[in-house]
Amino acid sequence: MEGCKNFFNTLILLVGTNPLPNFVVAEYFLINNPSLKNLLMIYSEDKPPSQRGTKGYVDSLQKLLQNHHKERDLTFNQIPLSDISDAKEIERDLKKRLTEYLKQTDSIHINYTGGTKAMGIHIYRWLENYGKEKNIPISFSYLDARTFQIVDDKYGRITGDLRSQIKLSIQELISLHGFKRDNEDKNEKDLFKVAVKKFREIIEMDKIKDYFNSYRREYFTDEKGELLKKVNKLKEKIEKLGLENKIIAQGTFLEIVNSMPEDYKLFNDEGSFKELKTNKNLERAIEFLDGKWLEMYVYDLLKESIKDKKISIDINWEIKKYEWSSSNQKFEIDVIIINGYQLIGISCTTSVRKNLCKSKGFEIFMRTRQIGGEEARAVLVTVLPESKKIELEQELEVDTGGKENILVLGIDDLKENIFTYKIKKYIE
């Protein structure tokens, strides 16, 4: 192991509500330490209302590690703590529940990244004393979330950036945090690929503002501002607005429409309304024109510009907790990047209302933390002008606790070279 002088056969992990650091540390040592045989995972029992149990995260962590190392003869043991805020209770639980698993070991390493501060302090102290009493070599480390390196108390930084060594799929990452995907790939990115390419040309030609000047969202929404999903409702709206025989799609907007698949064109070549055959086609066409194009555009740019094998990119994930029963209990991330094991979640919006953009920015920050832990980062892609974008980014930096947590991009950042430069710099 880089910078580490000794192998050990027992690894102790403190598992809190973010099990990702535990996985990264265990994965690294299992890959690099052939002597490692025993993994002990200390967690909190569920004692409402004051103490939240983390056994579910322990189970997910153990399952993932076992799947990654099926060829290894590993022993996993789970050690619950009855009160993670009481030093005496922690010591009693360790003596009663942990000691029996340490009797057969001749070397111990504890990574104290997870769990609460009280857990870390009291478990560290107890194990340090135990090692001295039993004359057992014991070492300590933590995972630095800023540099993605393991820092050993004695040897300092014993690894490089672990994002280049430890890789997780999107499904593995969200499963580790108790979530699952709730939708399938609709292949819409392939369906509208020609239209997305047209958007790309328009953006490079500085004509994207023309699109928003000619696109009229109110034609495609009901009285609540929701996008229409039925052909008959759109016909009623057209009649109500007196638009039946008028040419209303013009300029850049009509260019985009004409680049869409024939069964999804809402307008004839000259710009008058055309009735689509199915409600599903209508719904997809309106969603695309209203803003779905932006996430497809972002996805295409990233897939073309990022060729690093440790980075994976996907689009349109609807995510929910395993235990959520309602079909409405889910959230969506427009574009997902996994840099090794680090999640970068991207939310796209074509709204020019700063308060709505701010709400989406805070949501993508919270959602990425939920499914990717504290190491996760968020990106909000908007069409806001530069001055409003800067205001929004400054406010979100305060709300999220720092500029490293969220990146906000505006309409002037959408050109390929600017966009890809800023994204790459942010995730490096």
Residue 257, classified by CB atoms within 10 Å of its CB into exposed (0-12), middle (13-18) or buried (19+), is: buried
Q: Tell the burial category of 117 from Cβ atoms under 10 Å away from its Cβ (0-12, 13-18, 19+).
A: exposed
To which H or E segment does residue 348 belong? strand 342-348
Shared domain for 278 and 324, answered yes or no, is no
What is the distance between the alpha carbons of residues 82 and 46, in angstroms, rounded to a whole number? 8
Distance of alpha carbon 48 from the chain centroid: 29
Q: Is 145 among the domain residues?
A: yes
pLDDT in tens, 84-143: 989 999 999 999 999 999 988 989 999 999 988 889 999 999 999 999 999 999 999 999
Question: What pLDDT score was predicted for residue 6?
Answer: 63
- Look up residue 294 and give its two tokens: 């932006």
pTM of the predicted structure, to 2 decimals: 0.92
3/339: higher pLDDT:
339
pLDDT > 90 fraction of the chain, expressed in percent and rounded: 78
Note the pLDDT tens digit of each residue in 23-80. 999 999 999 999 999 999 999 999 888 888 999 999 999 999 999 999 999 999 999 9
Single out the residue in 292, 325, 354 at which a domain terminates.
292
pLDDT, position 403:
83
Residue 288 and residue 251 in one domain = yes
Q: Which domain holds residue 209?
A: 188-292
- Same domain? For 46 and 85 the reply is yes
Sign, CA dihedral 335-343-59-68, equals: positive
Residues 201 and 126 in one domain: no
User: Looking at the predicted structure, is the pLDDT value of residue 398 above 50?
Assistant: yes
Residue 161, domain member (yes or no): yes
- Tens of pLDDT, residue by residue over 292-345, are 999 999 999 999 999 888 999 999 999 999 888 787 889 999 999 999 999 999
* Domain count for the chain: 3
Answer yes or no: is 181 within a domain.
Answer: no
Place of tokens 């090794």: 340
Of 106, 131, 166, the last residue of a domain is: 166
What CATH number is attached to the domain comprising 409? 3.40.1350.10
Q: Work out the mean pLDDT of the chain and round it to a whole number.
A: 93
Q: Residue 41 is part of a domain; what is its CATH number?
A: 3.40.50.10770
Tell which of 266, 292, 318 closes a domain. 292
Residue 343 bridge partners (DSSP): 338
Query: Same domain for 50 and 98?
Result: yes
Q: Is 229 left (phi over 0), alpha (psi -120 to 50) or beta?
A: alpha
* Same domain for 121 and 14: yes
Residue 211 lies in a domain: yes
Nearest 5°: phi and psi at 373? 75, -175
Indicate if 55 and 155 belong to the same structural domain.
yes
Question: Are 214 and 278 contained in the same domain?
Answer: yes
pLDDT digits (tens, 9 = 90+) for 268-299: 988 888 889 899 999 999 999 999 999 999 99
The answer to whether residue 102 sits within a structural domain is: yes
Does residue 415 surpass a pLDDT of 60? yes
pLDDT value at residue 3: 43
Give the number of other Cβ atoms within 10 Å of residue 289's Cβ.
Answer: 24
Q: Look at the block and give the residue holding tokens 């933390």.
A: 369
The counts of H helices and E strands in the chain are 16, 13
Structure tokens at 137: 């070599």
Give the separation between CA 362 and CA 383, rounded to whole angstroms: 17
Q: Are residues 157 and 27 in the same domain?
A: yes
Report if residue 76 sits inside a domain: yes
Q: Are residues 33 and 145 in the same domain?
A: yes
Helix (H, G, I), strand (E, B) or coil at 311: strand
Examine residue 173 and state whether it is found in any structural domain, yes or no.
Answer: no
- Looking at the structure, do residues 333 and 250 belong to the same domain, yes or no? no
The reply to whether 301 falls in a domain is no
Q: Is pLDDT above 90 for 377?
A: yes
Q: How confident is the model at residue 417 (pLDDT cuts 50, 70, 90)?
A: very high
Whether 79 and 110 share a structural domain? yes
